[in-house]
Amino acid sequence: MGFAKSSTDISINASTTDLSANCRTKSGGSRRSVMRLNEYVGNDHGRLVAGGRDFGASATNIRLIQDTNNHTTYLVADLRDRSGSVRPTLLDLNPIIANMDGRLTYVGPLHTQ
């Protein structure tokens, strides 16, 4: 299950790529958790990819889009593609980040870059 369904106040710090959220714990409480997306997300020729690293070094306009109806959170950023054009790209964070007893935890593929 993706983290968005059991988390509130989800936000990103664009300068550090820190994703933060208040995450529900097993006991029913809440804990503020922070994880640096640069450690788990990369830029593959203009696409955000799970399992990469350091997308923030080549990204601008980093932000989140949240679909509260579907409990989905997308990472969105403007990246350069192979031709040098800058375009927005997005990555659904829910398949790759889980809430493990109040802690944001990466559960996506291993590093590819």
- pLDDT of 77-101, one tens digit each? 999 888 989 999 999 999 999 999 9
Residue 23 CA to residue 1 CA, distance in Å, equals 13
Task: Give me the number of domains the chain comprises.
Answer: 1
Predicted local distance difference test score (pLDDT) of residue 106: 97
Average pLDDT in the chain: 94
Mean of pLDDT values over 97-106: 97
Query: Residue 3 pLDDT more than 80?
Result: yes
Residue 110 CA to residue 32 CA, distance in Å, equals 25
- With respect to residue 82, please indicate whether it lies within any of the assigned structural domains: yes
- With respect to residue 62, please indicate whether it lies within any of the assigned structural domains: yes
Task: State pLDDT tens for residues 32-44.
Answer: 999 999 999 999 9
- CB 41, CB 91: distance < 8 Å: yes
Predicted local distance difference test score (pLDDT) of residue 69: 83
Q: Which residue has the tokens 């590819």?
A: 112
- With respect to residue 112, please indicate whether it lies within any of the assigned structural domains: no
Longest Cα pair distance anywhere in the chain, in angstroms? Answer: 50
0.75 surpassed by pTM: yes
Which range of residues forms the domain containing residue 23? 3-106
Residue 62: which CATH number? Answer: 2.30.60.10
Exposure letters 73-108 (e unless 16+ CB within 10 A, then b): bbbbbebeeeeeeeeebebbbbebbbbeebebebeb
- With respect to residue 111, please indicate whether it lies within any of the assigned structural domains: no
- With respect to residue 34, please indicate whether it lies within any of the assigned structural domains: yes
- With respect to residue 67, please indicate whether it lies within any of the assigned structural domains: yes
Predicted local distance difference test score (pLDDT) of residue 81: 84
- With respect to residue 26, please indicate whether it lies within any of the assigned structural domains: yes
- With respect to residue 64, please indicate whether it lies within any of the assigned structural domains: yes
Predicted local distance difference test score (pLDDT) of residue 111: 67
